[in-house]
Amino acid sequence: MQSKIAKELGNLPLAISQAGLYIKQKSGGFAQYLEDYQRYRSRVNSWIPKGPRPYQYSVATTWIVSFNEIRKSNSTATRLFQLLAFFNPDGILIEFLNSGTERMDHDLERLVLNDYEFREAMSSFEMFSHIKWDRVS
């Protein structure tokens, strides 16, 4: 069941973490969460745990808004971001990405191998604080 949830959420660590909080606080189980998510996706995504907080929106809401901005301008870049999140949220060598391009689909391979497009995509992630990009490595 957990793998179905992870797949449904695009294997994104932050989304999976937030799903865990939702399961603990609201749904009470993996099967119920998956049913809620598939039936009421927009309501589940906008769910905010109750409690005192000065900011009315969840991290998920602000993250989704900025991620959708990137998606509108460059859908291949969002696939790169999903790939980065899948591999390692703490650090990925650019050389590692370059060495695996033959296994990527054509658009993603072209993005990774085109230095300008790659830097543009990475800058868009960094602009919205989705990544920290060490240009020295």
Whole-number pLDDT of residue 20:
78
CA distance 15 to 25: 15
CA angle 132, 110, 81 (to 5 degrees): 30
- Give the total residue count for the chain: 137
The model's pTM:
0.53
- Ranking 3-12, 17-26, 40-49 by mean pLDDT, the lowest is 40-49
User: Residue 127: pLDDT above 60?
Assistant: yes
- Residue 49 tokens read as 């745990």
Q: What is the CB-side half-sphere exposure of residue 110 using CA atoms within 13 A?
A: 4
Q: Tell me what percent of the residues of the chain surpass a pLDDT of 90.
A: 12
Section 56-81 average pLDDT: 77
- Residue 114 tokens read as 């085109």
pLDDT per residue as tens digits for the range 11-33: 777 777 777 777 777 767 888 88
pLDDT band at 117 (very low <50, low <70, confident <90, very high): very high
pLDDT, mean over the chain: 78
